[in-house]
Amino acid sequence: MSIGPAAKVIEARTGSRLEKVLRAGHFAVTAEIGPPKGADGRRIQQLAALVKDYSDAQNLTDNQTAVVRLCSLAAAVHVLNSGGEPVLQMTTRDRNRIALQSDLLGAASLGVRNVLCLSGDHQRFGNHPEAKGVFDLDSVQLTATVRQMREERLFICGEEIKAPPRVFVGAVENPFAGPVELRVLRLGKKVMAGAEFIQTQVVYDVEGFARWMDTVCAAGWHKKTFILAGVTPPRSAGALRYMSRIPGMKVPEELIRRMEKASDKLREGQRIALEIINQVRAIAGVSGVHIMAINWEEAVPEIVSMAGLYPRP
Amino acid sequence: MSFEPKILAFCCHHCAYGAADLSGVLRLQYPVNIQIIRVPCSGRISEEHILDAFVKGADGVCVAGCLKGNCHYQSGNLRAGKRVEILKNRLADIGIEPERLHMFYVSAGMGAPFARFMAELVETIRDLGPAFNGQEREGGEQLDSRTS
Amino acid sequence: MILARPKTVSSILALVGGMKSLVVAGCQECVTVCQSGGRKEVSCVAQLLEIAGKKRGFPFEIAQVTVFRQCDNECLVPLDALMEKADACISLGCGVGVQFIAERYPTVMVIPGVDTVGGGGTVMSGVWEERCAMCGECILAETTGICPVTRCAKGLLNGPCGGSVDGRCEAGTDLPCAWEMIYHRLKKQGRLDSLRRIRPPKNWAHSGSGAMRKVIREEVMPCLSALPLK
């Protein structure tokens, strides 16, 4: 277990529980909650109540795969109201720098203490493929912006912020998109921009992930940021096959075959997730896991328990 | 009085024109509605030429080139085929039946198929009727084989 | 050059329903090269309109003209006489040409006959690709002559997104990932360090999302004092 050197400079700057857990050297667990395609907040509250004791923080996706859903900021507040610890996901696809900075101030004022900076899936994949993609900033610039707002107390334009947003800043990386050298360069860039934690794309190809981590560690980035490996319990062979077709995803063929053969698919899916958690945990430089149980948040408590990661610190 | 369509056939010198010639030598008959314009290659025919024929009163147009793979200039017939295909869509777009325009591929030895195809084409166009309403047709104008 | 693609003639017909006299105007510059608005395309559109007019039993009177350049006021002189009796002008020039014609003849309806796509070039006969988004602030020196603003589907400035696989863009498998291309070229040039630099937010005020852009160079402007005042 490694602790980033940033921790030596300032301890827990933000009041984020996730930051505290990571800086204390615990193996962190975060869980993803997908907001619904409707104005019903109770579903989020239920899911938050379900997973909050089994994870250190809960990610709220921001119109994931460019499909319109209840907004991540409102979802984050539902999580707060349920006693959870939200990680607000922000994509640069739908909002320009004015809206992003404004939303960040709003989120911080409501008590959100973690933010994840992404560029976002291209609008072409979503339910409004004719939408104009904004991309005023990219994810690296958004990461740097959040850090600048927090520490230098400055907006992008250079104007001063009286009450800066105190948030723990994360970014994402895809270890499987290749070429590895380029991916590690990009990770480094995100860390230099100020990403204090990194949540990765879903890991099924553990060997590939381990190779990527080797390069990351060789460059020393694991000491400057906390890396959380993405884990998704598959619900069926079909779900795995679907994921294998998503840009930037690698799913080994034998995993799909294993799911096909399984009599109890859900149990097998949980078992696969558990195995992957145990495997990535053993890889040097990995600080935690990010469980994305897509439309199957109910699986999180059992997986976390089976992995011996319950109770949370 | 029954409708006698005017049909213009752009025939490649290396194949279709020879096929037409052969059908004559074989004493095969095809309708007099067809007027042939000899061209060096079906690929010489652009959208403009075909549209010009319709503007000047043709009820149907066909472009006849060599069998695929046998073009004297490698791919002129394939280009012509592509152009015809796209022009059919553009004609349909403005409400003109795309069946009024045809591309076909023959060799100089296919005298009988040439005559048969021409007869079929005349029937197709006859069934469709005039391209434009009677009063708007420039009926008196003779299709000129020297049309540029 | 400016890339354009033809609109359907039916969409033009829908706008000229009750009209009689039309001018179809082409341009000898970019739209001639990308074969969407040159002399030949003008002829095809005019002929299709003519056929459609005859078909409906109410033919158009159509004049065809292809000028040297629609985006230059003095090149539009050949249209003057034709536009006097025209009910509408269908311009096969780019969006600039359409606007220059509309400015010169404010009483005549001007209809774009093409959709203007962007700044690009000929990849092979019949294939044209966008290369420049005209953002007003060129960074090509740092990106090895590959424009991420145009060629990255998200216009990212700090490297690829997580969606590119095997060098393909997530927005379309037929598109290469611009950042992977930049990476390979930087590597060949021994300039990978350039990828480590964090590029700050771009000034989009220079781009199309700012106010209408204007380029002024006084040294080539006419000397106003020497001109007769109106």
Element (H, E) at A30: strand A28-33
Distance (Å, whole) CA C82 – CA C101:
12
pLDDT tens-digit readout, A259-290: 999 999 999 999 999 999 999 999 999 999 99
Using the Cβ of A23 and the Cβ atoms of chain C, whether some distance falls under 8 Å is answered with no
Using the Cβ of C14 and the Cβ atoms of chain B, whether some distance falls under 8 Å is answered with no
Q: Is the pLDDT of residue B141 over 60?
A: no
CB C105 within 8 A of CB C79: yes
Residues 146-165 of C with CB under 8 A from A: 153-165
Count of Cβ atoms closer than 10 Å to residue A90 Cβ: 25
pLDDT tens-digit readout, A39-63: 999 999 999 999 999 999 999 999 9
pLDDT tens-digit readout, B69-91: 999 999 999 999 999 999 999 99
Overall average pLDDT of the A93-99 stretch: 97
Query: What confidence score (pLDDT) does residue A10 get?
Result: 45
Q: Which residue has the tokens 């700012």?
A: C210
Q: Is the pLDDT of residue C84 over 50?
A: yes
- Contact residues, chain A, for C199 at CB < 8 Å: 140-141
Using the Cβ of A178 and the Cβ atoms of chain C, whether some distance falls under 8 Å is answered with yes
Mean pLDDT of chain B: 90
Q: Is the pLDDT of residue A6 over 60?
A: no
Using the Cβ of C183 and the Cβ atoms of chain A, whether some distance falls under 8 Å is answered with yes
Cβ–Cβ below 8 Å for C43 and B131? no
Rounded to whole angstroms, what are the CA distances from A251 to A34, A201, A238, C183? Answer: 22, 12, 12, 26
- Contact residues, chain C, for B136 at CB < 8 Å: 54-55, 57, 59
CATH superfamily of C2-118: Response regulator (3.40.50.2300)
Does some domain include residue B145?
Answer: no
- Helices A265-281, A206-219: crossing angle, 10 deg rounding: 20
Overall average pLDDT of the C179-188 stretch: 97
Tell me what percent of the residues of chain C surpass a pLDDT of 70.
97
Band (C223; pLDDT cuts 50, 70, 90): confident
Band (C208; pLDDT cuts 50, 70, 90): confident
- Contact residues, chain C, for A186 at CB < 8 Å: 158-160, 195
pLDDT tens-digit readout, C35-44: 999 999 999 9
Which residues neighbour C182 within 8 Å (Cβ) at sequence distance 6 or greater? C143, C144, C146, C148, C195
Q: Is the pLDDT of residue C180 over 60?
A: yes
Cβ–Cβ below 8 Å for C57 and B132? yes
Tell me what percent of the residues of chain C surpass a pLDDT of 90.
86
Lowest mean pLDDT among A246-250, B97-101, C131-135: A246-250
Distance (Å, whole) CA B104 – CA C200:
60
Q: Is the pLDDT of residue B133 over 70?
A: no
Candidates B47, B52, B94; nearest CB to C13: B94
Encoded amino acid at C69, one letter: R
- Contact residues, chain C, for B59 at CB < 8 Å: none
Does some domain include residue B144?
Answer: no
Residue C157, helix vs strand vs coil: coil
Using the Cβ of B96 and the Cβ atoms of chain C, whether some distance falls under 8 Å is answered with yes
Query: What confidence score (pLDDT) does residue B1 get?
Result: 56
What domain range is B113 assigned to?
A: 7-134
Query: What confidence score (pLDDT) does residue A1 get?
Result: 33
Lowest mean pLDDT among A144-153, A171-180, C178-187: A171-180
Cβ–Cβ below 8 Å for B133 and C57? yes
Using the Cβ of C73 and the Cβ atoms of chain A, whether some distance falls under 8 Å is answered with no
Query: What confidence score (pLDDT) does residue C4 get?
Result: 98
Overall average pLDDT of the C190-215 stretch: 92
DSSP C177: P
Does some domain include residue B142?
Answer: no
Residue among C129, A280, B21, A200 at smallest CA distance from B9: B21
Query: What confidence score (pLDDT) does residue C221 get?
Result: 87
Q: Kindly identify which residue of chain B lies nearest to residue C13, measuring between CA atoms.
A: B94
DSSP C163: T
Does some domain include residue B147?
Answer: no
Q: Which residue has the tokens 């896991």?
A: A289
Q: Is the pLDDT of residue A193 over 80?
A: yes
Query: What confidence score (pLDDT) does residue C136 get?
Result: 94
Cβ–Cβ below 8 Å for C10 and B96? no
Candidates C44, C48, C57; nearest CB to B136: C57
Overall average pLDDT of the B31-44 stretch: 96
Q: Is the pLDDT of residue A246 over 50?
A: yes
- Contact residues, chain C, for B95 at CB < 8 Å: 10, 52, 55
CB A139 within 8 A of CB A118: yes
Paired tokens of B54? 């319709």
Tell me what percent of the residues of chain A surpass a pLDDT of 70.
96
- Across chain C, the runs of DSSP E, i.e. the strands, are 2-6, 21-27, 61-67, 88-91, 109-112, 114-124, 127-132, 168-169, 172-176
**Domain ranges for chain A:** 6-306
Does some domain include residue B57?
Answer: yes
Question: Which subunits count as partners of chain B given 3+ CB pairs below 8 Å?
Answer: C
> Could you write out the DSSP letters of every residue in A230-266?
EE---SSHHHHHHHHTSTT----HHHHHHHHH-SSHH
Query: What confidence score (pLDDT) does residue A9 get?
Result: 43
Cβ–Cβ below 8 Å for C162 and A185? no
CATH number of the domain at A6-306, out of 3.20.20.220, 3.20.20.10, 3.30.930.10, 3.60.21.10?
Answer: 3.20.20.220
Q: What is the CATH number of the domain that holds B27?
A: 3.40.50
Q: Is the pLDDT of residue B136 over 60?
A: no
Cβ–Cβ below 8 Å for A248 and C159? no
Band (C229; pLDDT cuts 50, 70, 90): low
Judging by beta carbons within 10 Å of its beta carbon (0-12, 13-18, 19+), is residue A46 exposed, middle or buried?
middle
Rounded to whole angstroms, what are the CA distances from A6 to A12, A13, A171? Answer: 10, 10, 16
Residues 66-95 of A with CB under 8 A from C: 93
- Contact residues, chain A, for C157 at CB < 8 Å: 138, 140-141
Distance (Å, whole) CA A60 – CA A77:
10
Sheet containing B7-12: order of strands: B34-39, B7-12, B60-66, B101-106
Query: What confidence score (pLDDT) does residue A8 get?
Result: 40
Provide ipTM, 2 decimals.
Answer: 0.91
Element (H, E) at A7: helix A6-9
Distance (Å, whole) CA C163 – CA C156:
12
The residue of B94, B135, B136 whose CB has the most chain C CBs within 10 angstroms, and thus the best one to mutate to test that interface, is B94
**Structural domains counted in chain B:** 1
Overall average pLDDT of the C62-69 stretch: 98
Count of Cβ atoms closer than 10 Å to residue A267 Cβ: 11
Query: What confidence score (pLDDT) does residue B16 get?
Result: 96
Lowest mean pLDDT among B6-10, B135-139, C207-211: B135-139
Pairing of strands A57-60, A28-33: parallel
Q: Is the pLDDT of residue C116 over 90?
A: yes
Mean pLDDT of chain A: 93
Q: Is the pLDDT of residue B51 over 90?
A: yes
